[in-house]
Amino acid sequence: MKLPTTIRNGFTLLETILAMAILATIMSVIFAITHSSIGLSQTIIGVQAQSRQQAALRDYLQEVLTNIPSEARVTLFENDFQLMTLMIENPNTEFPSNGRQQVAKQLWLSGAKDRDGLVSLVLEISNQFEDEASTTEPSYYRAELINQLAYIRWDFYNPSRDEWSPEWTPEMGRPTQIKFYYSFPDYPEEHMLYFWIPNRTPPAQQTGNNNQSPQIPNQ
């Protein structure tokens, strides 16, 4: 007598578990690749943004420092964050305020720290001196030129001593060379921007003024 053939429908429990394990492995590989691609894209975007910010910083400092007029007063002092502030009186620049361009009388390039201890280089500009009594409406501008730095520092070349110094006062005259150093927390490499300050003819001896006001970089 011939026994009936058993017809099997579906999968066994072992086959189902094996299929789920293979599927989980494939999904984990896909997730890892996707996560790595997203991380790489974010890194590239961050590096590009950082590069643009550094280029804007370099261009703006180049405009400000190389156009320091002969009558300007330059001072470097320590601020409340124990970081150095470069102050320029009569910096020969303008800034936007109250819907129009204002002539700057004081300009500060100040180091500031956030709650995480990271450093920013902050630009501050005013159309009046601090203790000036004037009928002109006071205007003020503030912007971060670069942020999330590990540190910043300045060096000035002192021609009378033939040496670089981290100090500068108005009594020392008009600087001829300036270096600005900074670094990022995740990168030990130190960046340096060098600026040569050309001689300027006093206003009484000028036949014309072709200097253009520095353009504040977009934030």
Q: Can you give the pLDDT at residue 195?
A: 95
Domain-embedded: residue 208: no
In a domain, 164, yes or no: yes
| Tokens of residue 70, six digits | 């002969």
Q: Which residues contact 192 (CB under 8 A, 6 or more apart)?
A: 179, 180, 181
Question: What integer pLDDT is reported at residue 208 of this predicted model?
Answer: 44
Confidence of residue 36 (pLDDT cuts 50, 70, 90): confident
Q: What is the C-alpha separation between 108 and 120, in angstroms, rounded?
A: 13
- Stretch 38-61: mean pLDDT: 80
pLDDT score recorded for residue 17 = 86
Q: Is 7 part of any domain? A: no
DSSP strand E in the chain: where?
Answer: 73-78, 84-89, 94-97, 100-103, 106-113, 119-126, 140-149, 151-158, 163-165, 177-184, 187-196
Asked if the structure places residue 176 within a domain, the reply is yes
Q: Which domain holds residue 101?
A: 48-200
pLDDT of the residue at 214: 64
pLDDT tens digit string along 147-187? Answer: 999 999 999 998 888 999 999 999 998 889 999 999 999 88
Q: What is the pLDDT of residues 86-130, one digit of tens each?
A: 999 999 899 988 788 889 999 999 999 999 999 999 999 999 887
Question: Is 2 domain-assigned?
Answer: no
Query: Considering the entire predicted model, what is its pTM?
Result: 0.72
Q: How many domains does the chain have?
A: 1
Whether residue 163 lies inside any domain: the answer is: yes
Band of residue 212 on the pLDDT scale cut at 50, 70, 90: low
Count helices and strands (H / E) in the chain: 1, 11
Mean pLDDT, to the nearest integer, of 197-206? 60
Question: Is 205 within a domain?
Answer: no
Read off the DSSP letter of residue 206.
-
